[in-house]
Every structure is written in C-alpha cells, then in structure tokens.
Chain A
C-alpha cells in the first residue's frame, strides 16, 4: 500500500471540502441552511446541508450525530445518499444527493390523480428502503410523507435520519417519545421502551392509508387523543388482539370502540392492498408484518404492476416544489434541534436521549387537515 498524500484528518477534510461548490441558498432554519451545489469535477448536482453548531452547549448534537452515523453506513437506491461530509470551522456540512420533491408535496397536490399502480410503486420503494435499514439493525423512527424524498427519476428515498438509532439490544431502553404523533405506533403511545422495526411499519401503514385517502389517516390532537383516534379507526384492542397489552407501562382503561369496517373507508382500494395495510396496522407489534414480509405480500405480485418510477405523478410546479421541499427540510431540522437539543430533554433518564417532543400539532402540516374516520373522496379514478 502506498501512503496517500493526505494522511491528516484535517488534510482529508480540506480535500473533501474542495470537491464541492455551493451555488445558492435554498432554505434556512435556525440550525441548518440548505444550499444547492455541485461536485466541481463531475458537475453532479448536490444539496449541501450546513448544520450550524455555534451555540450548542454540549457540542455536536445528537440529531446530527444520529444522521451522520446512520447515513454513512447505508447504501441503497431507496435511501438518500450521503455523498460526503466535511466540517468548516464549527459547521458540519452534509453533502446529500439532490432530490426534487417529497411525498407530502405529491399527496397535497390535488391536481394529481393517483392510480392504484402508483401507490403500489411508492409503497414498494419505501418498503425496500425501510427493509434495508432494518436489515442493518437501524430504526428510522420518523417516517412520514415529507421524509420520503423523490428524485427527478421518480425514485423514492428515505431521508431525515435525525432520530434514527440501532436496535436489537433488549437491555438498552429506548425512548417512547419518538416518531411524529400521527404516525406513532400504539405501543409507543403507551410508553414502550423496547421496540423493533414494527414501529416504522406502523408509520408506513399510516402513509399507505394517506396515499389512498389523500389526507392523514390518524391525526390526533394530542398524545392521548392519538390513541383514541387510533381506537376509533381500528377498534379498541383487546387482550386477544394484543397479548400483554395490560402489562405496558401506562395501563389506561380506554373506552371500547368497535372495529369499523375497513373497506368502507377505503372503498376504492383492492382487497390485497387492504390486507397489507391491515397487517401493517396490526396492534400487536410482534404480529405486525415486517418490511421483508410486506415485500413478499401478494399485493406486490398481483396486478396492476407497480408504475415505473419515472412515470409516477409529480407536482407540476417543479421549481416551487424544490424550494419548498428543501425549505421545509430546514424547518424540520429546526424542530429536531429544538426538541432533541434542549439539554434538559436529554436527561429524561430513559436511557435514550434524543427525545422528540413535538409540541402542539405534532406535525408541520396545516391544521385544517381533515379529522380521521370519515368517508373520503379517494380520488382513485379508473384509468382514463
């Protein structure tokens, strides 16, 4: 082996920094600024997320550490690529593949009509990315439509790993205060500190429903309300549905809601789609389908075949979508930092410190979003 020219950490860092050029600012939050940039030699378009750490009392924050730690290990077509990392003075710069828009923008653009094959395509890509994370023993812990970014070729990619962590060590307690509320699994709402990839699958089930409904499926106003929302939509679980339910840390007695007919709400969806969604939104986390199993579900084998990524619907005003996508990314970052960073939040004594207390709505989305459990216009029309 020949010893390279640059050995020192700082030499390598400078070398990396010199590879990229920032072009313009795309968005700014309190803690991060996102730039459009490019790799100087290849001209490849990149997003550079500059995380400002100037005033952090305890140095590099958990959110930045988690994101860098996770993304440095993951290589998958359906996970955002962290191309490089470099530091400049006291800023951390993440060089990410540039992605145009996100699934939230797609869902919200009511001029777009989704075909069942489109939804299948997004779900397949999302589950592939998630399966890869879980195979690497990594939980995402913040799946929701605006964390699925979409590339110009239509590929969907898991992004925002600021809450990600490894799992599988039963002795290590993890926080139950994670995942944006509307996508938070019932075991987390009940205070579980030991969980698996099943919490990401629940969130994925919620996203599946949202793709069908075009509005969030389970949008509770508070943590307690969230459980009630889930119970009203899915029926209050019994000890039979979920053995061991009564042993969870916060043993509340809930009003008994009957299980409504699922197909009624999602009247445009096929049986195989409903079956898969049902398995993703199963109460008992142990019985809930895994990402690997979900990919083997008949839904993905039955017709229609998933739409090719390049042919998927996307927002028309591409440029605006770009800006919004990245801007809201900055806003997301800010929220993470506010939550996971307040030093007092770290000392929750639960072993796992990056607690994402989402104040207020628990979601950045408009508050006029429709409440759940109503019959909706599904906007799944027959092929034109």
Chain B
C-alpha cells in the first residue's frame, strides 16, 4: 500500500460530496431552520404587495402549524426519488431511454436530487418539479439526450389519462435547470456502484469456484445497489465499498461465502476496517423503507401551506418580483423545429 493519492481523490464526488452522518444532520437542520425563516419573511413581504394584511395572521399561523421537520422533508424527497425509478422504467419502455443507459441515468438523477436538497429546502422548491429537472439533466449528463418535447410528451399523456387539470410544460422543467445545476455546484460527474460491482464480479471469479452461484449473487447485488441509491450511503462511502456491501447482502441471501475472497484479497488490518464499513452499508440498505404514497400525500398537503411565496410561481409576491425584473422568458417559443 502506498500513500500516493488515488485518482478517485480528484473526483468532485470525493472532494465535495463526502459527509459524516452527523454533518449531514447538522446541515439539514440548519437548512430547514433558515428555510422556515424565509417562509415567514416571504409571507410578511407578500402582505405588503397589495397592502393586504388581513390574511397575514391566518397565513402565518397556517404555515407555522404545518412546518415540515427535516425528517419530513427527507420523507417527501424519498417519495419522489422513488418516482425517478418509475419514470426511468417508462422512458425505457417507450424507447426514449436505451436499456444500457437506464442504470446511469436513474442513479445520476437520484444523486442529483439528493445533492440538490443539501443546498435547498422543499419550502422553496417542492420535490415534484425538481425531480423532473434532475431527471432531464441526468439524461444529458449520461449521454442519453432526448429533446425536451419528447421528454414532456409522455408526462402530458399520463396527465391527460389521469384527468389531471395541470399539464407539465417544457418551461416547468427548463426554468429550473439553472436552479438545479448551480445547487450541484456545476459538478456533474457522478460515480455509481454498478461498475465497481462488475469489476468485483470479474475479480471474484478467480477466487470462487461456483461460477453459476457467483453469477446469481452478482445479478442480485444489482437490486441492493438500486436500494442503496435512495439512502445517504452515497454521501458516506465510496462506490466500490457500496458495491461490495451490496455483494455481501446478495451473497448472504444466496448462501455464498465471499469472505474467503476478502480474506485472501486484503490484509487483516485493512479487512477489519473494511468490515466495519461493510456492516454499516448492509445495515443501512436492509433498514431502508420507502415512503408510502399515503404518507407523502399528508406531507405534500402540509407543504402547500408552508411554501415560501418568494419562490412559488403562483404567489402574488413571485409574480410581482418577476414583473419587476422584466425577465425575458428563458425558453424561446418562436424556436420551433
């Protein structure tokens, strides 16, 4: 083992997107607290817009009674992270997303959204719209570009089918692109455990005799990697560590001993450290639970009452500010193709 820095240490993921559980909690709590201050300030400011203070007290108390905790924010975000998985499947079915691009687009979109909410709160930007922008941006970043019209068409079709009154428009997605990319600090390259898992699979073939069972375990590890994307593991550990954790879970399920491989591959001191990491990864993935639709709806309803009007396009305050700035719309409608 040398002390020479690994190439991975140059990656933005390593330099800027590594946390401890404690630092994540602290960041999210501070973010939530300041977000709440902005909500209350925004409501007061809005009352000034047409000098109508009659509703202010009601609005403030409504908001105060419905404020989301950092845990609730996370639950709501988690629900929409699940939606990315669903959308990815449907784009694959309609042929807009090639099967070989699916994993990366999905994982990158999920990662973007998780990173986004380290630098934003749901009061300002509700996850439903952020999710779509993260997804669209991920298709570009992962070399699976589709035109915005193609991206939006299936969403609109689904909305029509559901009898939904609101229709997603191109602008809904594109107008948030800068908001998202600046929150990602323009760092777009994301490393996922999928490739590392494949590398591990290749290497393990030299150590494990039962090739068929090993293949089974490798295939199954994919499922656990999928699950890991929704957790905070991506901020805590490196992709190959998560891949190995997923392998261990799959191996346990399929009754294959991969510790023989690990003991031959790593020296005892390193292995001890590695096992602590792998245990945490396995526990976290096993403990992961989706937010149910019912729970998400409850939180979503609360969120309607505690949105920050400053960032809410349908609020009086937002409209006034937008009109004042005389902003040119970002997507040109005359540009037809």
Could you list which residues of chain A lie within 8 angstroms of chain B, going by C-beta atoms?
1, 3, 7-10, 12-13, 53-60, 62, 65, 68-70, 72-75, 85-87, 89-90, 135-136, 165-166, 169, 171-172, 174, 343-344, 346-347, 351-354
The one of A54, A135, A171 in contact with B332, judged by C-beta atoms closer than 8 angstroms, is: A54
CA of A354 to CA of B139 in the docked complex: distance in angstroms?
Answer: 13
User: With A60-B140, A344-B337 given, can you name 15 additional A-B contacts, CB distance below 8 Å?
Assistant: A1-B20, A1-B23, A8-B31, A8-B183, A54-B332, A57-B147, A57-B148, A58-B147, A58-B148, A59-B148, A65-B140, A72-B12, A346-B146, A351-B101, A353-B145
Name the distance in Å between B149's Cβ and chain A's nearest Cβ: 8
Q: What is the CA–CA distance of A12 and B16 in the complex, to the nearest angstrom? A: 13
Look across to chain A and name the residue whose beta carbon is closest to the beta carbon of B327: A89
Instruction: Confirm or deny: B30 has a beta carbon within 8 angstroms of a beta carbon on chain A.
Output: yes
Given contacts A72-B189, A346-B145, is CB(A13)–CB(B12) below 8 Å?
Answer: no
* Chain A residues whose CB sits within 8 angstroms of the CB of B173 once the complex forms: 59
B179 within 8 A of A: yes
Tell whether B335 is near chain A: CB-to-CB under 8 Å.
yes
> Least Cβ distance of B144 to chain A in Å?
8
Chain B nearest CB: distance from A309 CB in Å? 23
Among candidates A10, A85, A166, A346, residue contacting B186 with C-beta atoms closer than 8 Å:
A85
Complex CA distance for A273 and B26, rounded to whole angstroms:
59
B91-124 residues with Cβ-Cβ distance < 8 A to A are 98, 100-101, 116, 119-120, 124
By beta carbon, the residue of chain A nearest B119 is A9
Query: Which B residues between 22 and 49 are near A, CB-CB below 8 angstroms?
Result: 22-23, 26-27, 30-31, 34
Q: Is the beta-carbon distance between A3 and B27 smaller than 8 angstroms?
A: yes
The smallest beta-carbon distance between A2 and chain B, in angstroms, is 8
A-B contact pairs, 18 of them (CB 8 A): A1-B20, A3-B26, A7-B30, A8-B124, A12-B185, A53-B330, A55-B335, A59-B177, A62-B145, A65-B188, A73-B11, A73-B189, A75-B10, A90-B330, A166-B189, A172-B101, A174-B143, A353-B143
B331 at the interface (CB under 8 A from A): yes
User: B328 at the A/B interface (Cβ < 8 Å)?
Assistant: yes
Question: A54: which of B20, B34, B147, B328 is its contact (CB, 8 Å)?
Answer: B328
Contact B26 A57 (CB under 8 A): no
Q: Would B7 and A9 count as touching, CB distance under 8 A?
A: no
CB distance A69 to B189 under 8 Å? yes
Q: Which residues of A contact B195 (CB under 8 A)?
A: 169
| Distance, CA A344 to CA B150, complexed state (A) | 12
Max chain B C-beta neighbours (<10 A), residue from A59, A75, A351: A59
A9 touches B337 (CB 8 A): no
Chain A contacts for B137, CB-based, 8 A? 60
A residues in contact with B277, CB < 8 Å: none
On chain A, the residues within 8 Å of B332 by CB distance are 54-55, 57
- A165 engages B143 (CB within 8 Å): yes
- Contacts of B181 on A, CB cut-off 8 Å? 60, 87
Interfacial chain B residues near A8, Cβ < 8 Å:
31, 119-120, 124, 183
Residues in B whose Cβ lies below 8 Å from that of A86: 182, 186
The chain B residue sitting closest to A347, CB to CB, is B147
| B119 with A7: CB separation less than 8 A | yes
A58 and B116 CA atoms in complex are apart in Å by 21
Q: Does B141 sit within 8 A of A, measured CB to CB?
A: yes
Q: Which of B116-140 touch A at CB < 8 Å? A: 116, 119-120, 124, 136-137, 140
- B174 interface residue per 8 A CB criterion: yes
A59 / chain B contacts, CB cutoff of 8 Å: 136, 148, 173-174, 177, 331
A7 touches B27 (CB 8 A): yes
> What separation, in Å, do the CA atoms of A87 and B143 have in the docked complex?
22
